[in-house]
Structure 1
């Protein structure tokens, strides 16, 4: 069974360029061949600012949007976040989506395709990596930064430079190693969650 990789479009604002970047990476991941890639758009879940009455670790979700988001995240073996940088940090939409859940993220590797101006979104990536470790995720060092990305977009589609492809290959190769290595922990974790749910 192929490992499932979710490429998550982190920005939800009107006029965003994230979908063009994410579509390219998702297609590239398919060509790479080691993952079953799934493109996930945060905008499709329409998550309000966190509004669940109980702590996410309890998984006692009240709202349909949370249940749908939980199901999506729990089905993945690895994640790539396609993110811009807002004021030296990640977009609020990404932080909000991360905070909606807790245990669903555990024992998965995470990579980043970041874009923006001169920094290529790297400062947002560094901030987000610290947060991911709280969820027992493994943020890997390899990534795909895209500084000054805007000239490489044409009609919403990315015209990738060769360095994007080289970086994406290195990141996917490393993510696959971690996803395979963590597979046993993910299986044990999911079995434990099912047992707790049945006992509740």
Structure 2
């Protein structure tokens, strides 16, 4: 019984992924704000993965084949961090009604690391606030057997909607949205962590 309680009470390990790698990106500022906001909720162990610091291979292996030694070396840091996570939060802009190629590359290089875990989204960009990128990501993550939580955080026009310190100008609305998304992520994260520990996922 004590082991079960310890497992249930353990902090939820959340990998926060900064999707944009472009020069001049606002992703790190948005991620910093989210990390501060999420850190105030308690019960979370946050791991920031900035794709600008990850040298992802550009060529995918053949179906069913193992990565080349060079690709395996490039993935050696990021893959274990994804595998250790109980949940994910993707911080993404919207590029041409979609999401960054670096993020798709990260998703495609991994399989079991995503399965039967929840993912939430913090998006930003223009009048749409990155929502079209999020809608596409929901379809992509569904294919990896990842559960996307319903609520998301959408920051509209980050170049004018964020202060120089990276804080949203409409703090009440943004923090309210973050609270709702984090609550759902925690519920699904704990439920799915228990389910994975109880029985293998049939995926």
TM-score range, shorter chain: 0.7 to 0.9
Give the corresponding residue for 1:168: 178
TM-score, length-scaled by structure 2: 0.86
Structure 2 CA distance, aligned partners of 1:164 and 1:59? 42
Do structure 1's residue 119 and structure 2's residue 128 form an aligned pair? yes
How far apart are residue 172 of structure 1 and its match?
0.5
Gaps of 5+ in 1: 193-200
How far apart are residue 158 of structure 1 and its match?
2.6
Q: Which structure carries more helix by proportion?
A: 1
Runs of 4+ in structure 1 over 6 Å off: none
2:161 to 137, 152, 156: 152
Structure 2 CA distance, aligned partners of 1:22 and 1:189? 32
Do structure 1's residue 53 and structure 2's residue 61 form an aligned pair? yes
Give the corresponding residue for 1:4: 13
Q: Alignment partner of 2:76: what SS? A: helix
Do structure 1's residue 19 and structure 2's residue 59 form an aligned pair? no
2:191 to 159, 172, 181: 181
Do structure 1's residue 43 and structure 2's residue 43 form an aligned pair? no
Do structure 1's residue 136 and structure 2's residue 145 form an aligned pair? yes
Structure 2 CA distance, aligned partners of 1:160 and 1:106? 36
Query: Are the structure 2 counterparts of residues 118 and 60 from structure 1 closer, same or farther at C-alpha, using a change threshold of 3 Å?
Result: same
TM-score, length-scaled by structure 1: 0.87
Query: Are the structure 2 counterparts of residues 177 and 160 from structure 1 closer, same or farther at C-alpha, using a change threshold of 3 Å?
Result: farther
Contact residue 5 and residue 78 of structure 1 kept, 8 A = yes
How far apart are residue 46 of structure 1 and its match?
1.8
